Each structure stands twice: as structure tokens, then as C-alpha cells.
């Protein structure tokens, strides 16, 4: 096979992979659970710990897509408990200092659909001070009944904390999370269109690479075998 044909097949294969990724993303956006406010939301999940708090690992927010989104996604955390709850978000280093020596569960991983949380226990013996009395929170809410924290984001490393408002151990809450991504529906439409075009281009390139070479009508025919 000539080098030109190999190049066509290889390029077509790359466009086929690109098409698969774009179409998969478009399908995910189409199937995502989006509420009336435009948030992609998770299922509700009951989280329980005998410790003083749940705290996420670093949530990394950067400006890689600011040229497209204009701003970072808005994060929303909903929680409800039989006790008054506190939900806060702050710089990760501030949360680490606040919880230093306190027994708490760190959320190391979570899945959206279905919602599932993996945690790692941090041992400690110190009683934390009341969370609402701290001044480092970027955003926070507390109170009885359903609580909802919305945060528009900022660059850096962040942690979300859920704990009882009185800082007592034994957190038991029903939690769901969501994110509002600007232009998400348009991203899905663009992905579907881009995927379809990439797939068509992939098919054309691969066809050109594998099709039989056209026969020159002026080329001499092979001599017929003698009788």
C-alpha cells in the first residue's frame, strides 16, 4: 500500500476517534439531569459520619475555558438534616488549618450518576470552633431545614465543608450537588454537529485510502493466453 493511502487511512481514523468523543459528549449532555434553573444535578445521597465534618479535597478552579465560557461554572450544594447544618467553601489551606487536629472525613472521590462518595478518615481530638464564627469562608450558609449554597467560583484550590452548625460530631445529611455551566446546551449542539462532520470526513478519508486505484483506460490489456 502506498504511503499516501496509509496517510489517508490514518488521518481518517483520527477523525473517527474525534467524532466518537464529540458525539459521546453530546449524548451525555442530552441525557444529563438538568433542573429548571439550568443546573446539572446529582441524585440526593445520605451521608453519615461520626466525626465533626465532611470536607472535600482540593477543588481546582482555573481559567482554561474562560475564553469560551466568560466565567467559571457556578457550584451548588444542597443539604438537609434533622440538626441545623453549616455548609461553607473556602481556600483549601484555610480549611486545612481550621480542621487541623479535628476528626473529620475527607471526600476523596465522588460520582454524579449515581451519586456515590468515597472518604478518608482524619483522626483528631480537638473540638472545632463554631464554623460560622470563622472569617475565611468565601461563601457559607447555615440553619435548620434545607440549606443551599451557591458559589460563582474563583481561581485556586477550594474545599467544601458540611458540618453541624454547632460543630458537634455526628453529621447525618441528605446531600446533592450541581453545577451551572454557561451555554451547556449550545456545547452539546456544537458537539453533535462537530461529531457528525468529523465522522463524515473520517468516512471519506478512509474510503479514499482503501478504494481500488482507478484503471487507466489507455493501459494495454493483458494478452490472452494461447490456445
pLDDT digits (tens, 9 = 90+) for 109-132: 766 666 667 889 999 999 999 999
- Divide the 227 residues of the chain into consecutive groups of 10 and give the mean pLDDT of each group: 68 75 60 56 80 83 44 76 94 94 89 72 94 94 92 80 95 82 55 72 71 62 54
Does residue 226 lie in a domain region?
A: no
Q: Name the E strands within the chain.
A: 40-41, 45-49, 53-56, 59-61, 74-80, 85-91, 104-111, 116-122, 139-143, 147-151, 156-164, 171-180
Q: What is the tally of structural domains in the chain?
A: 2
Does residue 53 lie in a domain region?
A: yes
User: Are 13 and 120 found together in one domain?
Assistant: no
Beta bridge partners of 79: 147, 175
Does residue 147 lie in a domain region?
A: yes
User: Are 148 and 166 found together in one domain?
Assistant: yes
Model pLDDT, residue 199:
75
Model pLDDT, residue 137:
95
Model pLDDT, residue 129:
94
Does residue 218 lie in a domain region?
A: no
User: Are 91 and 198 found together in one domain?
Assistant: no
Model pLDDT, residue 193:
77
Model pLDDT, residue 70:
46
CA max distance for the chain? 106
The string of pLDDT tens digits covering residues 42-65 is 677 888 999 999 998 776 554 444
* Of residues 171, 169, 175, 156, the one with CA closest to residue 110: 175
CATH number (domain holding residue 157): 2.60.120
User: Are 16 and 43 found together in one domain?
Assistant: no
Does residue 82 lie in a domain region?
A: yes
Does residue 221 lie in a domain region?
A: no
Range of the domain at 7: 3-28+185-210
Model pLDDT, residue 59:
64
User: Are 139 and 191 found together in one domain?
Assistant: no
User: Are 11 and 107 found together in one domain?
Assistant: no
User: Are 24 and 47 found together in one domain?
Assistant: no
- Return d(Cα 165, Cα 48) in angstroms, integer: 15
Model pLDDT, residue 161:
94
User: Are 111 and 194 found together in one domain?
Assistant: no
Amino acid at each position: 500500500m502506498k504511503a499516501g493511502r496509509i496517510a489517508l487511512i490514518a488521518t481518517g481514523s483520527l477523525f473517527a476517534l474525534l467524532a466518537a468523543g464529540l458525539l459521546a459528549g453530546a449524548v451525555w449532555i442530552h441525557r444529563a439531569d438538568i433542573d429548571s434553573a439550568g443546573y446539572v444535578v446529582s441524585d440526593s445521597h445520605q451521608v453519615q459520619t461520626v466525626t465533626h465534618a465532611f470536607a472535600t479535597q482540593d477543588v481546582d478552579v482555573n481559567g482554561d475555558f474562560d475564553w469560551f465560557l466568560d466565567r467559571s461554572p457556578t457550584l451548588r450544594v444542597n443539604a438537609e438534616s434533622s440538626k441545623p447544618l453549616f455548609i461553607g467553601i473556602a481556600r483549601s489551606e484555610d480549611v486545612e488549618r481550621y480542621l487541623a487536629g479535628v476528626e473529620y472525613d475527607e471526600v476523596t472521590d465522588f460520582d454524579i450518576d449515581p451519586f456515590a462518595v468515597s472518604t478518608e478518615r482524619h483522626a483528631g481530638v480537638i473540638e472545632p470552633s463554631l464554623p460560622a464564627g470563622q472569617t475565611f469562608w468565601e461563601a457559607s450558609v447555615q440553619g435548620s431545614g434545607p440549606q443551599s449554597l451557591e458559589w460563582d467560583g474563583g481561581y485556586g484550590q477550594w474545599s467544601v465543608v458540611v458540618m453541624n452548625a454547632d460543630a458537634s460530631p455526628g453529621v447525618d445529611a441528605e446531600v446533592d450537588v450541581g453545577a451551572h455551566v454557561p451555554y451547556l446546551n449550545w456545547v452539546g449542539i456544537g458537539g453533535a454537529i462537530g461529531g457528525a462532520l468529523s465522522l463524515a470526513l473520517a468516512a471519506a478519508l478512509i474510503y479514499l485510502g482503501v478504494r481500488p486505484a482507478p484503471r487507466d483506460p489507455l493501459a494495454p490489456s493483458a494478452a490472452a493466453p494461447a490456445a
